[in-house]
Structure 1
């Protein structure tokens, strides 16, 4: 019976080794699974935390930017119509910003009527307010074209209107919680925002003097400057020999 005993021992040893292998395999599998799951959880937690830490400063910066953004300049079409009396700068109207246009004569302004006999005007065909920004833009456009095609010493440009009328604005707050700070239309007189010129029908806006050989350049320069103004304008060639100067009767 000794061989039966040996067979039982071999079988028991085989079964024990198989059981140990299975146990070891299950432990390795459990460790790998736990590692994978723990890695996934760590990754998820890390991504969530990183996204939250990244998103929070962005939100704060956006809120700060929204609070710090200043309101843009109100469009000039809001002040185009003449509805009230002239409101110039005075000791009662203080804190008025300087007008955008500071130069009214460009070119050879000391040339006489004999050297620059040709004169052309840009005339307003509407009763309206013209902002100082529009006057400056028109002056730059006309001066640039004449200096390029006629020469900087071959013309004289004059802006004929001055922005003396003061425009006001009642500023409204647009940030969070503004309804607790602002008063709406109570006390809505406003503060000075800019200046404009009150223009009548037939009033001259710009005038260009030059030689007869550069007459087409002057008319084209005023045509380009016309796009800087609101409303309607006309280009009229002057028939007076003295141009833009005033002649005293004898």
Structure 2
């Protein structure tokens, strides 16, 4: 895995993450079952992909379990800064561009560094909504650029 680039003092303007919320649903209730989505290999997940996965899973859980019938938590934070060295295109670009000389690049986005088997999203639910949570995590995994697996963290004996 590549070393994280999170030294914000060297970059003039750090891009903001598009993730709106990290905790959704009922933040105070205790739920007996916890289901998690974890990545199968080390990966960098962009803040846009995390936000898309959050929206997909939260929308389904809100529709199936109600507004306070679950607790969804994003477990990773995008802190790694992504830089790009924009190349000039068009006529005369070779006279303007200096190639890879001084190619530090501009900050364009942030991403979360995930290791193997790291949990990305966790949903706490009641046993009756277990299949809905699995479906929500499956939909969230389709938004991520890596193969994922769904695991039951807590309350496996309560599931029928």
Q: Same fold (TM over 0.5)?
A: yes
1:161 deviation in Å?
0.2
Bigger strand share: 2
1:109 deviation in Å?
1.2
1:21 is matched with: none
The size of the alignment, in residue pairs, is 156
1:117 is matched with: 32
Matches within 5 A, 1:93-242: 93-112=11-30, 116-239=31-154
TM-score normalised by structure 2 residue count: 0.92
Instruction: Give the aligned CA root-mean-square deviation in angstroms.
Output: 1.4
Whether the 8 Å CA contact 1:89–1:96 is kept in 2: the answer is no
Whether the 8 Å CA contact 2:32–2:155 is kept in 1: the answer is no
Which structure has more RCO (C-alpha within 8 Å, separation ≥ 6)? 2
Whether the 8 Å CA contact 1:89–1:164 is kept in 2: the answer is no
Distance 1:240 1:221 in 2: 18
Bigger helix share: 1
Q: Which 5+ residue runs of structure 2 have no aligned equivalent?
A: none
Distance 1:86 1:195 in 2: 11
Q: Which 5+ residue runs of structure 1 have no aligned equivalent?
A: 1-81, 242-250
- Bigger radius of gyration among the two: 1
1:239 deviation in Å?
3.1
Whether the 8 Å CA contact 1:168–1:192 is kept in 2: the answer is yes
